[in-house]
Structure 1
Amino acid sequence: MREQQERECRRTMVASGETRASSRLLVLRVQSQLCAVPISHVLETCRPLPTRPLPNAPELVLGVALIRARPTPVVDARRLLGHASLEAPGRYVTLRLGSDGGRVLALAVDSVVGIREVASAQLEALAGVLSAEQPLLQALGTLDRELLLLLEHARLLPETLWHELEAERASA
C-alpha cells in the first residue's frame, strides 16, 4: 500500500513538473555517459538479479530475470549505446512501457545518479534528426556540464521481441 502511495506521489510530482516546462528524470550512468528516463515510467531500481538467456534475442538483451515474480526482459544499456559490456551491471532500473503500462523491462546500468528536474530548455528534441538511424534517443541535453542522453524508453526492445516474449509467457 505504501509503495503504491509513493508511486502516486511521484506521478503527481512528475505531472506538476511537466507543467512548469521541465521534466523529472531518473539520471543513470552507463560507463562515462549520463542517460535519463522519465521518472513517470520508473517502477523501481534494484540490485542485479540472475538472468536466464533468451534464445535468438538480440545481443543487447541479457536475458530474462524474475522481478517481483514477473519474467522481465533485461536490456544492457552499455550495448544499447554501443559500448562493450565487460563487467556486471551495478543496478537494474525497471521501466513501465506503453500507454497502458502493460509492458515492463529492466534496464541494466552501471549506477543510478538520482532524480533531477531538467528544464525543457536544456533538452533538444531529436525528432527527425536521429529517429531513422537511432530511435533510442529522444533528446540530447546537458546536466552538470555533461552530455545527457534522454532515452526513448518505449523503443528499448524491438516490437518483434515483445511479441515473442508475450507468446512465450502465454504458453507457460
Structure 2
Amino acid sequence: MTTLGTRTAEHRDELLQLVTFSIAEEEFGVEILLVKEIIRPMSVTKVPNAPAFVEGVINLRGQVIPIIDLRKRFGLATSKLGKDTRIIVVEMSRMRVGFVVDAVSEVLRISAGTVEPPPAMVAGVESEFIKGVGKLDRRLLILLDLEKLFTSMEQRQLARL
C-alpha cells in the first residue's frame, strides 16, 4: 500500500513499460498499454473551429481519429514533418487520438523507483499533465499523464470531431 509522500518497496520495484518519443530535442514516455499503434504521417483533413493544437482528422481503417500536434499543445515551435515523424495512436478517455511526434525512440522498461515527481517549476498549472521525470543513465525522460493532457472542455471538443 502506498501512503502519501512515501513509496513502499513493492511500488519502487514495479517496472514501468513505456513507449518513448522525442519532441524538440526532449524525450517523453507514455505507458505502453495506452498505445494502440504507431503509424507514418498521412493526409489529414482540416476541421473548422477545432482547437489550435488539432491538425485535423484521419480515417484509420474506418475510424475517424483526431490528430494532435504535441509541439503546439506544449507551446513549442512547429516544424516540418521529417523522415522520422510518426503518429502515435493512443486510447484515452474512451476515445482514440493520434499524436504527432518528431520520432519514436524505443519501448523501455524502467523501475518506478527511478521516477521522481516533476520539479516545481515544471509542475505549473499548464504542465499538470507531467506524471513524473524518469532518471536514466545520462538522460531524463518526461512521463506524460495522457488523461490530464486536455481539459474536460477540450476532451468534449475532441469527441465531437
TM-score, with structure 1 as normaliser: 0.75
Deviations 1:24-64 (A, max 9, x none): 00000112110000001000000012112222222221111
1:55 and 2:48 correspond: yes
For residues 4-153 of structure 1, the aligned pairs below 5 Å read 20-88=13-81, 90-98=85-93, 102-126=94-118, 130=123, 132-153=125-146
SS at match of 1:52: coil
Provide the identity percentage: 25
Letter aligned with residue 65 of structure 1 = I
Q: Is the 8 A contact 2:12 2:111 kept in 1?
A: no
Question: Match of 2:154?
Answer: 161
**TM-score, length of structure 2 as denominator length:** 0.80
Q: Deviation of residue 127 (structure 1)?
A: 9.8
**Which AA in structure 2 matches 1:166?**
A
Give 4+ residue runs of structure 1 displaced > 6 Å after superposition: none
Query: Aligned letter for 2:97?
Result: L
- SS of corresponding position for 1:53: coil
Higher relative contact order (CA 8 A, sep 6+): 2
Mapped to 2, the partners of 1:113 and 1:88 lie a distance apart of 16
The one-letter code matched in structure 2 to 1:59 is: A
Separation (CA, whole Å) in 2 of partners of 1:91 and 1:34: 14
Aligned partner of 2:5 in structure 1 is: none
Give the whole-Å Cα distance in 1 for the aligned partners of 2:118 and 2:80.
30
In the alignment of these two chains, the number of paired residues is 148
SS state at 1:45 partner: strand
Structure that is richer in helix per residue: 1
Give the deviation of 1:147 after TM superposition: 1.9
Equivalent residues of 1:136, 1:155 under 8 A apart: yes
For the residues of structure 1 that align with 2:126 and 2:158, how far apart are their CA atoms?
25
Contact 1:131 1:137 in 2 (8 A): no
Answer yes or no: is the 8 Å Cα contact 1:91–1:112 preserved in 2. yes
The answer (yes or no) to whether the contact 1:49–1:66 under 8 Å persists in 2 is no
- Preserved contact between residue 62 and residue 75 of structure 1 (Cα < 8 Å): yes
**8 Å Cα contact 1:51-1:63 kept in structure 2:** yes
Q: Unpaired runs of 5+ in structure 1? A: 1-17
Distance 1:22 1:131, change over 3 A: farther
d(CA) in 1 for partners of 2:63, 2:148: 20
